[in-house]
A and B are shown apart, each in its own frame.
Chain A
Amino acid sequence: MPEHFAVAPNWEWWILAYFFFGGIAGGTYAIGTLIRLFGAPADQGAARTAFLVSFIALIPCPIFLSVDLGQPVRFWHMLVDTSAGGPSFKYWSPMSVGSWALLLFGVFSFVSFLGALGQSGTSALSGVGRWLAGAAGAAWSVIGSGLGFFIAGYTGVLLAVSNEGVWSDAGWVLGGMFLASALSGSAALLLLLWRGRHDAQAGTVTRLEIADRNFVILEAILILLFLASVAAAGTIGKLLGALLVLWLLVLIGLAAPFTARGARMGAPAVASPLLALLGVLALRALVIFGGQL
């Protein structure tokens, strides 16, 4: 059984906020692309919303990350090697890869954001909107989605690539678990924004609900695998005790999409996605704080 003597890096609220917003930014971008490529014409409004949300959720991410640094003004040391010169890139360090991926994804997310604005009627950006609606735009969204998936999931790998209990014990599952939960949280957020809209087609909402439930099933499977991994490593105790409250939130979040089926207006339509998002946040809090106990 692995024994751990590493101490806690004290990654706390800023990191939790980054993991959450980064997950939403990546997840909504990927869902936007899925709708763009596989959805009906009636669903394309939801795709535009997804691209708008993705960039808005991404904006605070570099701020959260920089504020968490001991030397925030040295944030650029992540990208530039100030001792040896040239770029700083280590493919074996997820924090290094993640910094570059965040920068690149920012470009894709920003252009798609402009395109979505153009497609929504901002005439100055209609050219970008048209370009993104074509074949080149589809390729752009596909590449952006690859990066979006990465941003949503690499944070789990970053924790795993350490010598901390819990994090390194569930090395193979954390990235996937965060990715699945980012997808389910993103679908919930889109439902929250889309359900009450007067121009929303019932079919679009139904399909978002189906997607949400599919993602939640995937997430639930990965959570079980995560628990099995830490139980096998003997570190599951760190995730119990006071953290049981967070587990309760995770469970409620997982159940929420199944309880508000077909709700278009009113409390269930709003409460269900909000609870799902709270569950996504709680899952990340559990892993971040539990690993450092």
Chain B
Amino acid sequence: MAALQERPVGFFTDTSICIGCKACEVACKEWNQLEGNAPHFTADSFDNTGQLDAQNWRHVQFIEKIPDNKGTIGTPIAGGQAWLMMSDVCKHCQQASCLEVCPTNAIVRTEFDTVFIQQDVCNGCRDCIAACPYGVIGFNEKTGTVHKCTMCYDRLQNGLQPACAKACPTESIKFGYLDDLHAAADTRLATLQKQGFAQAQLYGRDTSAYGGLNAFFLLMDKPETFGLPNAANATLPSRNNVPGYLGGAVTAVLGLLAGVLAFRSSRMSGEQR
């Protein structure tokens, strides 16, 4: 692959063609040398990964949909059981909550418009974990820092596509320049809608969630089903700065008054030591 231009790149993850093979998870772990967590039984369908964290930068979700036999599942197999499979990942948000709160500036936007955590700067305060609305970032006890998908920044710098996109056998994960991916997603959505998939929708393609997501999705159900906040719930941490400080300031004034009322009496009555 020729060297990448310094233009916004991203992932378009088309969940309608994901087969749940987890090749993306494996490729990610191999390239990024992630040890993985100790195996455990999640009792959650075919999911034994559990969640995105410091060791899992791709996570294939298996959502079992039991339809009501009225065809409302929105797939041709209504009446049977359906899986919704989705390879979840850091969204590389345009307005990134993690980047917003990081006090050390460890989290930066790269020349490819992706969101990257500089391991030599992060001090492991974990503020970004509380901020990320998608539960993406995890803390690694060994490094004492936090980790998430880098969109294979090292590969991008060398003109290679991210390992997950390279490994995905169905091209459910597509990597490319963002404007090209937007065009591909619009075409795919139109095709699905023409075929009668009423629930098919793009998530993160427009600016309604965090100003747009560089890693955006084609979903076959509403965003909440996949653990994604809908547009109304896609809120930035900084929304609470002004009300939070204002509430504190009003309380400080009331606290001052409460204290002055208590101590003023003594000066007025002229008590002496």
Q: Could you tell me which A residues sit within 8 Å of B by CB distance?
A: 2-11, 30-31, 34-35, 38-45, 68-71, 74-75, 77-78, 81-84, 88, 90, 92-96, 99, 149-150, 153-154, 156-164, 167-168, 171-177, 179-180, 183, 201, 203-204, 207-208, 210-211, 214-215, 217-218, 222
Report yes or no: A180 in contact with B132, Cβ–Cβ below 8 A: no
Residues of B within 8 A of A45 (CB): 273
**Which residues of A have CB within 8 Å of B129?**
6-10
B228 touches A70 (CB 8 A): no
Q: Please report the C-alpha to C-alpha distance between residue A246 and residue B206 in the assembled complex, in whole angstroms.
A: 44
Q: Shortest beta-carbon distance, A50 to chain B, in Å?
A: 11
**Residue B272 contacts which of A31, A40, A93, A150 (CB distance < 8 angstroms)?**
A40
- Rounded to whole angstroms, the CA-CA distance of A73 and B26 in the bound complex is 34
> What B residues does A211 contact at CB under 8 A?
258-259, 262-263
Q: Is the CB of B244 within 8 A of A93?
A: no
Interface-central residue, A8, A34, A208, by most chain B CB under 10 Å: A34
What would be 14 A-B contacts, judged by CB atoms less than 8 Å apart? A5-B227, A7-B138, A34-B256, A45-B273, A69-B125, A70-B140, A90-B105, A160-B244, A167-B130, A171-B243, A175-B248, A176-B247, A176-B250, A217-B258
B270 with A40: CB separation less than 8 A? yes
**Contact stretch, chosen from B2-10, B68-76, B116-124:** B116-124
Q: Is the CB of A157 within 8 A of B244?
A: yes
Instruction: Choose among B51, B127, B227, B262 the residue with the greatest number of A CB atoms under 10 Å from its CB.
Output: B262
CB B271 to nearest CB in A, in angstroms, measures 4
B266, A88: Cβ atoms closer than 8 Å: no
Stretch at the interface among B94-102, B152-160, B168-176, B179-187: B94-102
CB distance from A145 to the nearest CB of B (A): 9
Q: How far is the CA of A88 from the CA of B125 in the complex (A)?
A: 15
Cβ-defined partner of B121 (8 Å) among A31, A77, A158: A77
Query: In the docked arrangement, what's the CA distance between A69 and B208, Å?
Result: 34
Q: Are B260 and A34 in contact (CB under 8 A)?
A: yes
Collect the chain A residues with CB atoms within 8 Å of residue B264's CB: 38
Judge if B126 is at the interface, Cβ distance under 8 Å: yes
Residues of A within 8 A of B194 (CB): none
| In the complex with contacts A93-B100, A163-B237, A211-B258, A7-B229 CB distance below 8 A | no
User: In the docked arrangement, what's the CA distance between A74 and B122, Å?
Assistant: 8
**Would A95 and B125 count as touching, CB distance under 8 A?**
yes
Tell me whether B132 and A163 are in contact (CB under 8 A).
yes
**Nearest 8 A-B pairs (CB), nearest first?**
A70-B124, A171-B240, A176-B251, A70-B144, A175-B248, A40-B266, A214-B258, A211-B262
A210 vs B143: C-alpha distance in the bound complex, in angstroms? 51
Interface centre among B100, B123, B227 (most CB of A within 10 A): B123
C-beta contact mask, B85-107 vs A, less than 8 Å → 1, else 0? 00000000000010011111110
Chain A's interface: helix, strand, loop or mixed, by majority?
helix
Q: Report the bound CA distance from A222 to B244 in whole Å.
A: 13
Whether B260 and A99, one on each chain, are in contact in the complex, defined by CB atoms closer than 8 angstroms, is: no
Instruction: Please name the residue on chain B nearest to A95 by beta carbon.
Output: B103
What residue in chain A is nearest B269 (Cβ atoms)? A40
Interface string of B207-240 (1 = CB under 8 A from A): 0000000000000000010011110010101111
Known: A211-B259, A215-B258. 5 other contacts (CB 8 A): A7-B129, A30-B255, A70-B123, A93-B102, A153-B248
Give the A-binding residues of B (Cβ under 8 A).
51, 53, 97, 100-106, 108, 118, 120-127, 129-135, 137-141, 143-146, 224, 227-230, 233, 235, 237-241, 243-248, 250-252, 254-256, 258-267, 269-273
Contact A95 B251 (CB under 8 A): no
Could you tell me if A154 and B248 are in contact, using CB atoms closer than 8 angstroms? yes
With both chains docked as a complex, state the minimum distance between the C-beta of B45 and any C-beta of chain A, in angstroms. 18
Partner of B103, one of A34, A88, A207: A88
* Cβ-neighbour of A92 out of B100, B124, B273 (below 8 A): B100
Which chain B residue lies CB-closest to A75? B123
Contacts of A158 in B (CB 8 A): 127
Q: Which of A84, A92, A95, A201 contacts B238 (CB 8 A)?
A: A92
CA of A8 to CA of B261, assembled, Å: 41
A45 to B131, CA, bound (A): 45
Give Cα A155–Cα B104 distance, bound, in whole angstroms.
Answer: 18
Distance between Cα atoms of A35 and B53 in the complex (Å): 50
Q: Are B245 and A84 in contact (CB under 8 A)?
A: no
Q: Is the CB of A71 within 8 A of B122?
A: yes
Cα distance A31–B260 in the bound complex, in angstroms:
10
Contact B131 A162, beta carbon cutoff 8 Å: yes
How far apart sit A168 and B270, CA to CA, in the bound complex (Å)? 47
Closest B residue by C-beta to A154: B248
Nearest-Cβ distance from residue A174 to partner chain B, whole angstroms: 7
A40 near B254 with CB under 8 A, answer no
B34 shortest CB reach to chain A, Å: 17
Instruction: Please state if A42 and B273 are interface contacts (CB–CB under 8 Å).
Output: yes
Please give, as numbers and ranges, the residues of chain A lying within 8 Å of B121 by CB-CB distance. 77, 82-83
B98 to chain A, nearest CB (A): 10
- Pick the residue among B104, B139, B260 that contacts A82 (CB under 8 A): B104
B241 touches A161 (CB 8 A): yes
Closest to B104 in A: A77
Q: Decide: B262 and A214 in contact? CB cutoff 8 A.
A: yes
Q: Give CA–CA (A149, B251) in the complex, Å.
A: 10
